[in-house]
């Protein structure tokens, strides 16, 4: 969008329930009249196509029966299709009932395309309270609606409607979402669009099938290099921390342990997380190879800071949400001022080649990312900053703790319960890491990077195909 200058009558502010004054909202709602596309066809609000279903909540805790859980983090952006659901009989936070929805839309992260057709309609489906369930009033518009809602111009329009002080709080009000207008084109024209798009969607699905999750890539390389059981990560199962999320759900098992095994924990732990058979196998494997402890190779460690945010600031802050356990996402940062940054202790400022480890929160705990950026930045008090000495490869260290050999130690040693879980330096410092040469570390790093680069090329091809879908729609509605 180019720079536009406009004036607005104060009475028009009443079009927003919240009397919004921001220019993007005013431009889209009043000047563009809620229209996203230039079209020769009449345009009508989404409320003519979508009916918001009543919100039914399930409280955290045990469920009466098994249900299918849709986690936002498990889904691909802009795909429109559910990629992964899991069967659960217990939930750690409140969820919305999505069972009867034709389509559901996340209020949070709408500009990223968290919008999905419900391919499990009629089954017991639940998901985040950020999801709003909708019924599509006419079945004939189902695919057309999906393609339009995920169009890149629509994603930009959602960003105009977001409200909230910080990126983690920015949401689109469903009332305003339904005011967005879309072209009402004849059914035969819709069929032509869908017929053009279907082969592209087929190609996208074929490309998606070639994608291997990054953690699986890393685990596969470590399996080849160190010769342990490739199914360790599934046997260990899904837990509370970031690294375990690619594994299958654990099943309840009863096991015995010898009293002498309690000595394997420095704090004489009685936790089943420490003494269960899969953990023992992994500990035995690490004991069978030559290892160091993290404290042997760390030059320094620091906690982040509790920053004083300023929307006018210039220095981005790396928060938990910015850590993606594979890269750092700077697309929606919060900022501090340069003056505030300059007054901080130098040890608290992120430097290139630093390692950031998240130390708190269910699912987030154990995220580990490599700070490979030249820009000034800091991280929050929820994270540790590690700086290694020259005898250990920073990227190898990072990959190791994304592999089962690393992250099982995080899952084993965190403290706390429910969502209030923590990892402290006392535990991190005693984690075992392979004692291998820098040349072998580099060989493993190069192998992993080569595989991950292949995955990125596939993702680029998928994005190129999605752009073709956008072009087909725009051409058809003009």
pLDDT 10s digits, 149-202: 999 999 999 999 998 876 667 899 999 999 999 999 998 998 999 999 999 999
Specify whether 202 is located in the same domain as 235: no
- Same-domain check for residues 205 and 319: no
Q: Which residues contact 221 (CB under 8 A, 6 or more apart)?
A: 399, 444, 447, 448, 451
Distance between CA 129 and CA 475 in Å, rounded? 36
> Number of structural domains, the chain?
3
Q: Which residues pair with 249 in a beta bridge?
A: 238
Read off the CATH number of the domain in which 346 is found: 3.90.220.20
Same-domain check for residues 395 and 468:
no
Range of the domain at 256: 228-436
Q: Are residues 150 and 271 in the same domain?
A: no
Whole-angstrom CA distances from 328 to 27, 77, 129, 170, 274 are 32, 17, 26, 19, 30
Whether residue 337 lies inside any domain: the answer is: yes
- The pTM of the full predicted model, rounded to 2 decimals, is 0.82
Rounded Cα gap, residues 38 and 30, in angstroms: 16
- Quick check: is 73 in a domain? yes
Distance CA 192, CA 424 (A): 58
Instruction: Report d(CA 149, CA 147) in Å as an integer.
Output: 6
Contacts of residue 231, Cβ cutoff 8 Å, sequence gap at least 6? none
Closest CA to 273 of 244, 248, 230: 244
Same domain for 167 and 100: yes
Q: How far is CA 361 from the centre of its chain?
A: 14
In a domain, residue 394? The reply is yes
Q: Do 116 and 199 share a structural domain?
A: no
77 located within any domain: yes
Give dist(CA 220, CA 448) in Å, integer: 9
427 and 326 inside one domain: yes
pLDDT tens digits, residue range 323-340? 999 999 887 789 999 999
Identify whether 336 is part of a domain: yes
Please give the pLDDT value at position 1.
43
Distance CA 359, CA 338 (A): 26
Q: Does residue 19 lie within any of the structural domains?
A: no
Phi and psi dihedrals of 180, rounded to 5?
-60, 135
**Where do we find the tokens 């945010």?**
309
DSSP string, 107-118: SBTGGGT-EEE-
pLDDT tens for each residue of 202-230: 999 999 999 998 999 999 999 999 998 88
Residues listed for the chain: 478
Q: Let me know: does 29 contact 15? Beta carbons within 8 Å.
A: yes
Name every residue whose Cβ is closer than 8 Å to that of residue 121 and which is 6 or more positions away in sequence.
99, 100, 101, 102
| Residue in 119, 134, 116, 130 with CA at minimum distance from that of residue 79 | 116
Cα–Cα dist 371/394, whole Å: 10
255 lies in the same domain as 137? no
Low-confidence ranges of the chain (pLDDT < 70): 1-21, 166-168, 249-272, 418-419
Q: How far apart are CA 273 and CA 277, in angstroms?
A: 9
Same-domain status, 267 and 281? yes
Short-list 112, 108, 115, CA closest to 164: 108
Map tokens 């659960």 to a residue: 88
In a domain, 338, yes or no: yes
- Return the pLDDT at 268: 46
Tell whether 381 and 447 lie within a shared domain.
Answer: no
Q: 180 and 234 share a domain? A: no
Tell whether 426 and 444 lie within a shared domain: no
In a domain, 420, yes or no: yes
């Amino acid at each position: 969008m180019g720079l536009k200058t406009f004036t607005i009558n104060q009475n028009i502010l009443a079009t927003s329930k919240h009397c919004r004054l921001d220019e993007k909202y005013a431009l889209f709602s009043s000047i563009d009249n809620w229209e996203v596309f230039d079209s020769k066809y009449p345009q009508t609000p989404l409320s003519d196509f979508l009916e918001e279903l009543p919100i039914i909540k399930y409280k955290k805790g045990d469920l009466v029966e098994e249900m299918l859980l849709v986690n936002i983090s498990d889904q691909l952006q802009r795909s429109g299709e559910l990629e992964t659901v899991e069967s659960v009989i217990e939930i750690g936070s409140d969820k919305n009932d999505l069972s009867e929805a034709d389509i559901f839309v996340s209020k949070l992260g709408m500009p990223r395309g968290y919008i999905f057709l419900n391919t499990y309609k009629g089954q017991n489906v639940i998901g985040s309270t950020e999801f709003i369930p909708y019924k599509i009033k006419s079945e004939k518009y189902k695919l057309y609606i999906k393609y339009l809602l995920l169009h890149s111009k629509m994603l930009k329009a959602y960003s105009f409607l977001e409200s909230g002080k910080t990126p983690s709080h920015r949401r689109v009000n469903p009332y305003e979402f339904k005011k967005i207008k879309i072209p009402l084109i004849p059914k035969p024209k819709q069929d032509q669009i869908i017929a053009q798009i279907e082969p592209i969607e087929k190609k996208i699905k074929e490309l998606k099938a070639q994608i291997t999750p990054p953690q699986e890539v890393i685990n596969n390389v470590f399996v080849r290099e160190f010769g342990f059981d490739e199914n360790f990560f599934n046997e260990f199962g899904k837990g509370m921390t970031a690294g375990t999320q690619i594994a299958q759900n654990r099943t309840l098992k009863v096991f015995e342990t010898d009293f002498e095994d309690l000595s394997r924990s420095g704090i004489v732990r009685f936790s089943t997380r420490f003494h269960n058979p899969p953990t023992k196998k992994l500990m035995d494997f690490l004991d069978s190879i030559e290892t160091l402890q993290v404290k042997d190779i760390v030059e320094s460690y620091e906690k982040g800071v509790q920053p004083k945010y300023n929307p006018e600031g210039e220095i981005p802050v790396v928060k938990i949400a910015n850590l993606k356990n594979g890269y750092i996402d700077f697309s929606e940062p919060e900022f501090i001022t340069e003056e505030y940054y300059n007054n901080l202790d130098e040890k608290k400022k992120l430097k290139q080649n630093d390692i950031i480890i998240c130390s708190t929160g269910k699912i987030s705990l154990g995220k580990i990312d490599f700070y490979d950026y030249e820009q000034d930045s800091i991280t929050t008090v929820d994270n540790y900053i590690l700086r290694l000495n020259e005898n250990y490869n920073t990227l190898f260290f990072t990959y190791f703790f994304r592999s089962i050999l690393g992250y099982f130690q995080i899952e084993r040693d965190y403290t706390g319960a429910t969502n209030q879980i923590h990892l402290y330096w006392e535990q991190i410092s005693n984690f075992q890491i392979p004692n291998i040469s820098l040349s072998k570390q580099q060989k493993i790093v190069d192998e992993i990077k080569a595989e991950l680069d292949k995955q990125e090329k596939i993702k680029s091809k998928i994005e190129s195909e999605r752009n073709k879908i956008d072009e087909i729609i725009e051409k058809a509605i003009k």
